[in-house]
Structure formats: structure tokens, C-alpha cells
Structure 1
Amino acid sequence: MSTTARRAGNPAKLALTPSQTVGPYLSIGLTWPDGPEVAAPDAPGALVLSGRLIDGAGDTVPDGMLEIWQADAAGRFDSAEDPRGALATPGFRGYGRSLTDAGGRFWFRTVKPGALPDGEGGWQAPHVDVTVMARGLLDRLVTRVYFADEEEANAADPVLASLPAAARDTLLARPTADGYALDVVLQGPGETAFFRL
């Protein structure tokens, strides 16, 4: 209770404590030694996955962080916990973090992942799992990046199929000269589809 409220003797008229935003503390303790280098530049099939982080007003977010985790080109994770057996692709780590720059841009050097079993006897289309953190977010946001040129696999993907058509489009990275690009929109028109875990 504030001193003013105690003096007034009326605690029922206290205002709520102002909420606090998160960050921007991402560069203090959440950087990753290899940063956005998920794959070595000379890894077979190395490409750049890039984009911008955009807020609800359409402005870029200069102090955000995106984290990705993905399978390699054969659809296997560089982990002993992969039930199909780990496949350590040379120069591939499968994990990376990219801080957004002053223009809200992020990038990862990686490889296009292979398809993954869906646990039901089918397959998930090639995709990258993404976590988004930024000032003002009280919890992380989770989404996926799929690849627009994987039409057949995307059409059969159970996660994409569960979304309305407009939401599916927000997850499709388009080919560029050096890889793929997709902007992540936090809210408003064109908002990226995010998932509850």
C-alpha cells in the first residue's frame, strides 16, 4: 500500500501497479556462441533464411531475438534422442539464435530440413521451429517456417492443414537469391500464426 493511500485511509482507491515490459536484455545473457550459424558456410546445401521482425504498428523491432531448432537435410536431428538415430551432418548444428538489427532484420545460415515423421504414420513437411522473444513480450512466441516451394509436402502437413488458408501463408518462406525469406509479424494485419505449447 502506498504512503499516500495509507494517509488517506482508503486502500480501496489504490491504482494498479504499472506493468513492466521485458527487456531489451536479450544481448546480455541469451546470445549463442555460434549465433545465427546453424550450418557452416561450406556445409552441403547451406543457405540463408532471413526476414524482419515486425510489430503490430508495422514497425520493425530492432531489439528482438529469434531462435531456431531444426532437422538436417535428411530429416534427422543432431541429437542422440532422435528415435531414428542421430545423424551428425558435417558442419550442421541444428540450433541458432539471431538478434534483430536496427532495421529489425534477422538471418540464419542453415540447410533446408528434410521431412519428419508425424508420429501417426505420416510426414510433416520440411520446417524450422522458431521461438521469438522481444521487448514487451511476457512469454516467448512459437511458430514454424515452412518452404513455399514444397507444395506437395505442405499440402499433406497435418499442422499446416489445421490452420485457415490465410494463416498458412504467414508461415511460408519464399525463395531468394541466397536462400529463403519470411517476415515475422507479431500482431495486426498479416500476423504470423503462433502456436500454444
Structure 2
Amino acid sequence: MTSGASAVWDQLTELTPAQTVGPYLGIGLPWPDGSYVVEPDTPGGIWLRGRLFDGAGDPVPDGLIETWQADGQGRFDHPDDPRGAVAGFRGFGRCPTDESGGYAIYTRKPGAVPGPGGRPQAPHVDVSVFARGLLHRVVTRIYFPDEAEVNAADPVLAEVPAHRRATLVATAEPDGYRFDIRLQGEHETVFFAV
């Protein structure tokens, strides 16, 4: 390799800076049953629906919502579950947002899971958001409004300032729950550093 070619190679092999999430979301990440964590018409199935908004309050039509959760008994189909993996519940969903920023995930309500120091965490769904303008995903949680007692004792939710906790609690709907996500601005959803 000549010294000129070597210099070019050195420049090409340096770490490149992060780039914002791009249009590949709609090309490589969604799959046909991604919105279905459980089969349609599963007993106890619920819809988690909402909209993704940017800092100006406009819908984000090209975002991607991922969910990860335990089953109804608080168990994960994953080898890292400290109680041992339970088979049969995928626990993972992925839904691109539509032109109105809307998403919908069909799942079952999770059970409580072990938390720091063995304290139980309230039933919740972990959510990752990918969208234009973000260098990395942002991560939040969906808590349930009909779990007020266990929400009050949840060690993670307790770390969130009281006036911001409402941004993590879904609202009940006839066939499930609604959880809007605001990336910035007034009523910005709480996001966690992971």
C-alpha cells in the first residue's frame, strides 16, 4: 500500500460519528406479526395504543416503537430471567408509527417482576423509541392505572419526581390502554438512561 493509500485507509477506519435514525426503519426492522406479542383473540389480550409526538407536538410518522415485557406471572422467555426462562411468551413487539404518529401493540398485561434488592416492580412494559432526529433510542416504561398500590411501591417509579410520574402511566380504554409518547416539550415523557 502506498503512503497516500495508507493515509486514506487510516481515515476510513477511524470511528465514525453517530448518525440519526434513518429511513431504514421502514425497510429492515418491521415484520408482519411485529405488532402482535400474542396471537389475535388470545384470552386476556389487550391493545397498547398511542401516538408519538415530537417537541413541537407534531406526530412522528416514521418512528418505531419496540416493547419488551414479562408474561402475566412476571416471567421472561429469556435465559437471564433469575427464576429461569419460561417458554411460550415472546414478550417482544415492534410497530412502526403511521402518518398520525400512531402505534398499536397487541399483548397481555404483564405481572410484577423482581426489582433491585428483590423488591417487586409493578407490572410494566419497557418501551424503546426510534425516530428521526435521535442519535440513539430512548427508553421509557408503561405502567398501568389500575395498579395504583403497586405503582406507589415500585422502586423505579419512586425515583421519578412526583410531578412527572403521570407521563409513565397509561390510561384505560375499553380494549386495553392508551400511552402517548412525547419526545420533548410540555408533558415530555420520562426517559431512562440505560
Tell me the TM-score normalised to structure 1 length: 0.85
Structure 1 unaligned regions, length at least 5:
1-18
One of 166, 169, 177 as aligned partner of 2:166: 169
What is the RMSD of the two structures over their aligned residues, measured on CA atoms?
Answer: 1.5
| One-letter code aligned to 2:172 | P
1:20 CA drift (Å): 6.4
- Quick check: 1:149–1:174 contact (8 Å CA) kept in 2? no
Specify the SS of the correspondent of 1:150: helix
Answer yes or no: is 1:104 the counterpart of 2:98.
no
Give the alignment of 1:14-33 within 5 angstroms: 21-33=20-32
Match of 1:156 in 2: 153
Flag structure 2 segments of 5+ consecutive residues without an equivalent. 1-17
Identity %: 62
Aligned to 2:135: 138
Give secondary structure in 1 for the equivalent of 2:50.
strand
**Aligned-residue offset at 1:58:** 0.6
Indicate conservation of the 8 Å contact 2:50/2:179, yes or no: yes
- Counterpart CA distance in 1 for 2:82 and 2:118 is 14
Letter in 2 for 1:41: P
The size of the alignment, in residue pairs, is 177
CA contact (8 A) 2:21 2:130 kept: no
Q: Answer yes or no: is the 8 Å Cα contact 1:24–1:134 preserved in 2.
A: no
Looking at structure 2, the residues matched to 121 and 82 of structure 1 have their Cα atoms a distance apart, in angstroms, of: 13
Conservation of the 8 A alpha-carbon contact between 1:50 and 1:181? yes
Higher Rg of the two aligned structures: 1
Q: Do the aligned residues in 1 keep the contact of 2:140 with 2:191 (CA within 8 Å)?
A: yes
Give the TM-score of the pair, scaled to structure 2: 0.87
1:32-74 CA distances to partner (integer Å, 9 max, x unpaired)?
3421101112323110001000011011100000101100000
Deviations along 1:53-102, one digit per CA (max 9) or x if unpaired, are: 0011011100000101100000001123322122234xx32001000001
Distance in 1 (CA, whole Å) between partners of 2:19 and 2:136 is 13
Aligned to 1:125: 122
Determine the C-alpha separation between the residues in 1 that align with 2:25 and 2:173: 28
Could you tell me which residue of structure 2 aligns to residue 8 of structure 1? none
Q: Match of 1:94?
A: 91
1 CA distance for matches of 2:85 and 2:43?
18
User: How far apart in 1 are the matches of 2:156 and 2:54?
Assistant: 25
Higher helix share: 2
Distance (whole Å) between structure 2 residues aligned to residue 87 and residue 43 of structure 1 = 18
- Matching residue of 1:49: 48
Alpha-carbon contact 2:35-2:94 (below 8 Å) kept:
yes
Contact 2:20 2:136 in 1 (8 A): no
